[in-house]
Amino acid sequence: MNNLKTDPSKLKNEEMILNMGPQHPSMHGVLRLELVTDGETVKECIPHIGYLHRCFEKHAEALNYQQIIPFVDRMDYLSSMNNDHVFVMGVEKMLGIDQTIPKRVEYIRVLVCELNRIASHLIAIGTYGMDIGAVTPFFFCFKEREHILNLLEWASGARLLYNYIWIGGLFYDLPVGFEQRCSEFLTQFKPKMRELDELLTNNSIFISRTQNIGVLPLDVAINYGCSGPMLRGSGINYDLRRIDGYSVYPELDFEIPIGEGKMGTTGDCWDRFDVRVREISESIKIAEQCIERLTKELKRSPEFDPRAKLPKKLIPKAQEFYCRGEMPKGELGYYFIADGKSDKPFRCKARAASFSNLSVLPELAKGAMIADLIAILGSIDIVLGEVDR
């Protein structure tokens, strides 16, 4: 009962305070939910965060821009490539070198980011199934994710925290044979996704546990600053890869899946899950286009240096600048303040998708059953490293 925000003396008859977490199998990290319950019904839900606070923004004030990248990796540690890409784009735009980045570098960045997006969504889908009671999809998804981690480890030397996308380029060019092996993986992965659809997406028990549960109306999603599959699941076509058209995404052909209320109400848990499943198919399509460009028009060359555009001094002009990108979980943005004198940012504020998406949980939890609260939380797909930063 320590540090409760709810006054126990004001509880009505039959109401009680229940702590869920921070150590709980379905918490997706060290999150504590303070629940006011009436039997099995949730009357109020108050998230308590801060258990994983790592002082990212304070660290950034003491490090130069290149040294910050390994810390950026550790925010949403399930999609480190995407974290790096957005941060690096922001610094390159501040330095005025964003238009000089070689096309091969840009396509490699998008390729590894989309592979990382698939890996992140596989964790979201697999753990979500397990939250609700379906254990088999968890092992199914992790098996396929392992192939992606092997590819990214081959490219960067690391399995989770890559430090691969650098300001001005890449740590290293793709290994010889990477494109072919990546293409082989995507070919064998497509039928696996269809099998997963049969196993989980269209499973009658799974549908009954997620349809019409945790319905997020579009106006509520917008007012709370939700983004990513949380926002698109409520029926709006809003993806920063299309809206902002950064990197080489405008040159690629892909669709933006949105929630359509196929199994229940638009914006319910099933819709958010389905958006992630369909996004995996679109990421496969993007990755295949990148591989085609890299093997035909942008072939590797012994003279190609992915670090050639890396400036010797990373000192941007004095300015305030905000850069954003589409992460697997939603909008990730960095707000920089540069003083024009130092290679260290005066301020680097991170706008984390998981933090904003989690803020709507109290709205979704009102009136839900305790068992459904787990389904609602899992459908948000949070990572506490990004929530607490």
Residue 145 belongs to some domain of the structure? yes
The 10s digit of each residue's pLDDT in 312-340 is 788 999 999 999 999 999 999 999 999 98
Give the chain's length. Answer: 389
- Predicted local confidence at residue 4, as pLDDT: 60
Closest CA to 60 of 74, 72, 50: 72
Is 60 exceeded by the pLDDT of residue 2? no
**359, part of any domain:** no
For 306, the domain range is 64-353
Helices (H) and strands (E) in the chain, counts: 15, 8
Instruction: Name the domain count of the chain.
Output: 1
- Between 28 and 110, where is the model more confident? 110
Which pLDDT score is estimated for 332?
95
**Any idea of the CA torsion for 240, 245, 249, 250, to the nearest 10 degrees?**
140
Percent of all residues in the chain with a pLDDT value above 70, rounded to a whole number: 97
**Residue 380: inside a domain, yes or no?**
no
- The verdict on residue 317 lying in a domain is yes
267: left (phi over 0), alpha (psi -120 to 50) or beta: left
For 250, how many CA atoms within 13 A lie in the half-sphere containing its CB? 6
Residue 82 placed within a domain: yes
What is the band of 1 on the pLDDT scale with cuts at 50, 70, 90? very low
Q: Which residue from 166, 121, 139 is spatially nearest to 273, judged by alpha carbons? A: 121
- Give 5's pLDDT tier (boundaries 50, 70, 90): low
In a domain? residue 42? no
> Does residue 51 lie within any of the structural domains?
no
Structure tokens at 239: 């993806």
Residue 110 lies inside a defined structural domain of this protein: yes
235 pLDDT higher than 60? yes
pTM for the whole structure: 0.93
In this structure, what token pair is assigned to residue 317? 């002009």
CATH number of the domain to which 236 belongs:
1.10.645.10
